[in-house]
Amino acid sequence: MKHVIAFDVSMGKSYMVIYNALKKCELEREINHNRPDFLELKELVKELTEGYGEQPHIVFESTGIYSRPLERFMLENNYRYCLLNPLEAKLQCDSLRMHKTDRSDAHQLALTHFTNERRIETESDDVYRQLKRLSRHYSELDDELNVTRSRMHKVIQETFPELERIFTSKSELFLNVAQLFPHPDLVLKHSKTIIKNRIIANTNKRLSVKKAEEKAVELIKAANQSYPSVSSTDVVCDQVRVYSKRFQELLFQKDQCIGKMELLAENLEEYKILRSIPAIGTNTAVRIIAEIDDIRRFDNNRQLNAYAGIDIRRYQSGKFIAKDKINKRGNKHLRKIMYLCVQNMIKQRRFGENHLVEYYDKLKTQPYNKCHKVASIACVNKLLKIIFFLVTHNQNYDYRLAP
């Protein structure tokens, strides 16, 4: 290699160093992540490329949103570059002497590039990038939904706790009734007919008159028996309405997010393959694709396992041998999705034959006698192997051909 350009990325700027083949620093300076500085950087790379007959090696650490402008600059100019994850960079650059600054980190990245074999970052299709962004947005919505559900439960317990026993807590009918009648006194102000008509008018799904009347009767009965801890004029009733409305909005946004992901993924070969696997629906399929990215970039399923963070971590020192555990250093979002996917397969075993469920049952019985989590992670490992094989060989799942 002729030259190495290393960047230590921070918010809105990077510290850049350039080393020649003799490991001597020729230039170091700070560059801002803006158009003028990137144009200067482009001219600098052009000079080095034309002067020495090859593009300089470029290396920097992935720092989430802060390194994205630099990544875009590299992709738009078709530069080959090495993008290190933070753990990889730490392991390669750590030394006995602790002296960490932006300047020293940039120098360490450049110097260690001469002695480490680093993978050149390959350009990913824009579809996969968009899918990953939508998948992370979906996770954020789901986290917010859990917080909103907890808050709504707390305030409903103060105003009208019987609502959660009459209706399913996630149903649209429950959320609409919670907004209409957050307190039993508000129910008792109206007749059965008015309550029934309001329930029908404020429910988007088809609801029969008979069913609405039954719910109205249940509401009136519950309101007569209820003794809430606050009055109907308390501000807690307003909070019930706010949380119920927000809960509805989040459910709608989650559905929209999955709809957009399906439109993006439906033309991908792996989408149809994943949908052929039992218990993997639209939601799971698109999110697996989003988190794995292009699975063909992996050379084997062991690399995919490491990416998901389920490869085994072993530790032995002298006579001490630690218990084997998964290292959990990979993509936690993918790991969670795959674990939940296996749980769905176990729950839906009655709907069709699935050799992964059979493998789970085998691990749970003698002589293996594994606990639920260990058996589930083993199934995740097997499922990732199956997905890797099916996608790389462009085959749909077939129980008769499964091992």
pLDDT of residue 326: 83
Query: Average pLDDT in the 375-389 region?
Result: 94
Query: Average pLDDT in the 186-207 region?
Result: 85
More confident residue, 237 or 1: 237
Question: Is pLDDT at 99 greater than 90 in this prediction?
Answer: no
More confident residue, 117 or 142: 142
Question: What average pLDDT is seen over the chain?
Answer: 89
More confident residue, 100 or 279: 279
User: What is the pairing mode between strands 57-61 and 3-10?
Assistant: parallel
Are 193 and 248 within one domain?
A: yes
Question: Is pLDDT at 96 greater than 60 in this prediction?
Answer: no
Question: Is pLDDT at 205 greater than 80 in this prediction?
Answer: no
Buried b (16+ CB within 10 A) or exposed e, 356-365: bbebbeebee
Question: Is pLDDT at 95 greater than 80 in this prediction?
Answer: no
* Euclidean distance between CA atoms 94 and 25, whole angstroms: 20
Are 107 and 145 within one domain?
A: no
Residue-level length of the chain: 403
Question: Is pLDDT at 251 greater than 90 in this prediction?
Answer: yes
What residue numbers bound the domain in which 180 lies?
A: 129-262
More confident residue, 403 or 352: 352
Last residue of a domain, one of 239, 262, 285: 262
- Output the DSSP codes for 243-268: HHHHHHHHHHHHHHHHHHHHHHHTTS
Spell out the alpha helix ranges (H) of 58-125: 68-76, 86-93, 102-113
pLDDT of residue 262: 94
Are 112 and 185 within one domain?
A: no
In 10 A of CB 59, how many CB atoms?
23
Are 240 and 281 within one domain?
A: no
Q: Which two tokens stand for residue 277?
A: 């696997």
DSSP 82: E
* Euclidean distance between CA atoms 169 and 192, whole angstroms: 22
Last residue of a domain, one of 77, 98, 123: 123
* Euclidean distance between CA atoms 71 and 61, whole angstroms: 10
Query: Average pLDDT in the 195-209 region?
Result: 82
Q: What 3-state DSSP class applies to 59?
A: strand
pLDDT tens-digit series, residues 284-333: 999 999 999 889 988 899 999 999 998 888 778 888 887 778 888 888 99
The one-letter amino acid at 345:
M
The number of folded domains in the chain is 3
Buried b (16+ CB within 10 A) or exposed e, 98-109: eeeeeebbbbbb
pLDDT of residue 97: 61
Are 119 and 223 within one domain?
A: no
Are 87 and 105 within one domain?
A: yes
CATH number of the structural domain spanning residue 188: 1.10.287.4070
* Euclidean distance between CA atoms 325 and 178, whole angstroms: 45
Last residue of a domain, one of 262, 293, 320: 262
pLDDT of residue 178: 92
pLDDT of residue 1: 64
* Euclidean distance between CA atoms 89 and 178, whole angstroms: 52
More confident residue, 254 or 312: 254
- pLDDT category, 141, cuts 50, 70, 90? very high
* Euclidean distance between CA atoms 268 and 296, whole angstroms: 13
Q: Which residue has the tokens 């650490």?
A: 61
Question: Is pLDDT at 41 greater than 90 in this prediction?
Answer: yes
How many angstroms separate the first and last alpha carbons of the chain?
47
Query: What percent of the chain has pLDDT above 90?
Result: 55
CATH number of the structural domain spanning residue 103: 3.30.420.10
